[in-house]
Amino acid sequence: MSFNKLLQQSLLWRGFYFFTVLLLNIAISRILRADGSGGLYFSTIVFNFILLIVSFNLESGFTYFASSNKIPYNSLALLGTVWAMVSVMLLAPVTFFYLRSITYLHGITALRLTYNASTFIMGVMLTNYFTVLFYSKKNFFIPNILLGGSNILLLVFFVVGQIYHLHNNTLVTIYFLFYPLQGVVLTVLFFISHKKEDNFRLPSKTDFNLLVRYSTITLVGNLAFNALYRVDYLFVNKFCSQSDLGNYIQAAKLGQMLLIIPQILASAIYPQIASGGHQEYVRDSIIILFRLFLQVFGVLLIILIIIGRWLFPFAFGNTFNSMFMPMQIIIPGLFSLSALALLSAFFSGKGKPRINMEGALIGLIITLVCDWFLVPLYGINAAAAVSTLSYVANLAYSLWHFNKITPLETKDMFAFSKNDWRWVFGILTSRKNKPGF
């Protein structure tokens, strides 16, 4: 499959999935309001950090070794299944016995918190493992149709639950139940679709050591990046009100929606670089996309300045009246994250995940130091400003290394041209074209 075709398929099916994520997010925010949705999303942020450690970030290794055909797909699939099951079996009792004697996350009981954590971690772990395996096989349809359909069904449950006045705790219980359901279904679909292939055995010791060595480096990098991306929530939670926390997390989640297309494109770039195909084409594509992102986020900032003050309360409810300023401040940071998504995929595909790790650590140090002093004084606006500064620093470091690997002129990054948009249009319409300067 050509690189343009990969981009097109990724944009279509992942775009569908992320659209359902946006709809579900709006429904949950309006039903649970700022304080309720803030607590729910804050708990998933904590679980995500635990997940990253427990999963050992094996999905990055799965992508690299499956795309480069260095380890059989089905060996990786079997390892992922076993790893997820054993991890949750060990994690659940430890979580319960640790939490039963303390109050945690706004008074949630240890049993309910254990249920939330176990279902979330198991479901997302399986989903991550098998999504990247499908992507490595250039199949964007199955995982995104399943996950998008699951989001639509969950949205229906929330709407019906509000109509029949179900308690919020019941809705949250259903919310977490969907994670393992979709993970298990995706696992079964992968094995069914590849049942004719051999290698339904665990990786050899040599292959496992290679996988662990690669995943260890990416784990450290992703831990640093996830801390960089989410540690500001901890400062906001500590120094600001629950309403401010809900507003800030909602602004961050809306920002994540703006990163959808860069993440979609990165999911197509990573396997292509790892497999060694279309190297120069992918490099030129990254530079063009950098220019396009710069234009798009500039226009978006102008639009937010004009209509953002009334748009957010209208879309999410009147309790989200503090999103306007942090959302404006974070836009340059979101542009940086968009470019970083492409560059991180490039470095990972090149077998150089250490660059991603070092850039994230630089940004994390900036965030920790500045948030500690500024958030208590200036609240969520300071948190947004510090995040933007950290993301820009991370991007600058990555661009420096990108230039060392594939030299380019600075003017290339800002040489706006109509041909860039014609290239995008060609991808969307399946026309054959090449990126150019």
Among 163, 206, 178, 185, CA closest to 71: 206
Confidence check: pLDDT of 301 > 80: yes
Q: Which amino acid is at 251?
A: A
d(CA 397, CA 419): 28
Instruction: Convert 285-304 to b/e letters by CB count within 10 Å (16 or more is b).
Output: bbbbbbbbbeeebeebbeeb
Check: pTM over 0.75? Answer yes or no. Answer: no
DSSP for 285-335, written as a single string: HHHHHHHHHHHHHHHHHHHHHHHHHHHHHHHH-TT--S-HHHHHHHHHHHH
pLDDT score for 21: 87
The pair of structure tokens assigned to 160 is 């019906």
Q: For 353-405, write each residue's pLDDT tens digit.
A: 889 889 999 999 999 999 999 999 999 999 999 999 999 999 999 999 999 98
pLDDT score for 430: 57
Determine the average pLDDT of the residues in 407-422.
Answer: 82
Domain boundaries, the chain: 3-428
Reported confidence tier of residue 271, pLDDT bands at 50, 70, 90: low
Residue indicated by tokens 């989410």 = 230
d(CA 171, CA 423): 44
Confidence check: pLDDT of 157 > 60: yes
pLDDT score for 104: 47
Secondary structure E strands in 336-423 = none
d(CA 289, CA 259): 13
Distance linking the first and last C-alpha atoms of the chain: 24
Confidence check: pLDDT of 105 > 70: no
CA dihedral 229, 232, 237, 242 (to 10 degrees): -80
Q: For 25-77, write each residue's pLDDT tens digit.
A: 888 888 887 667 777 877 887 888 889 889 988 988 898 888 778 888 889 99
pLDDT score for 35: 67
Confidence check: pLDDT of 220 > 50: yes
CA 208 remoteness from chain centre: 26
Determine the average pLDDT of the residues in 10-15.
Answer: 81
- The mean-pLDDT minimum among 49-53, 230-234, 431-435 falls in 431-435
HSE at residue 93, side-chain half, CA atoms within 13 A, is: 3
Confidence check: pLDDT of 242 > 70: yes
Confidence check: pLDDT of 278 > 50: yes
Confidence check: pLDDT of 134 > 50: yes
Determine the average pLDDT of the residues in 199-223.
Answer: 84
Q: Is residue 421 exposed (0-12), middle (13-18) or buried (19+ Cβ within 10 Å)? A: middle
Confidence check: pLDDT of 152 > 70: yes
CB atoms within 10 A of CB 90: 11
pLDDT score for 352: 84
pLDDT score for 336: 95
- The mean-pLDDT minimum among 167-171, 222-226, 267-271, 417-421 falls in 267-271
Determine the average pLDDT of the residues in 247-258.
Answer: 83
Confidence check: pLDDT of 1 > 60: no
- Sign for the pseudo-dihedral over CA of 8, 11, 13, 14: positive
Determine the average pLDDT of the residues in 294-305.
Answer: 92
pLDDT score for 150: 95
Q: For 178-198, write each residue's pLDDT tens digit.
A: 999 999 999 999 998 887 666
What is the residue-averaged pLDDT of the chain? 85
pLDDT score for 198: 61
d(CA 280, CA 43): 42
Confidence check: pLDDT of 125 > 50: yes
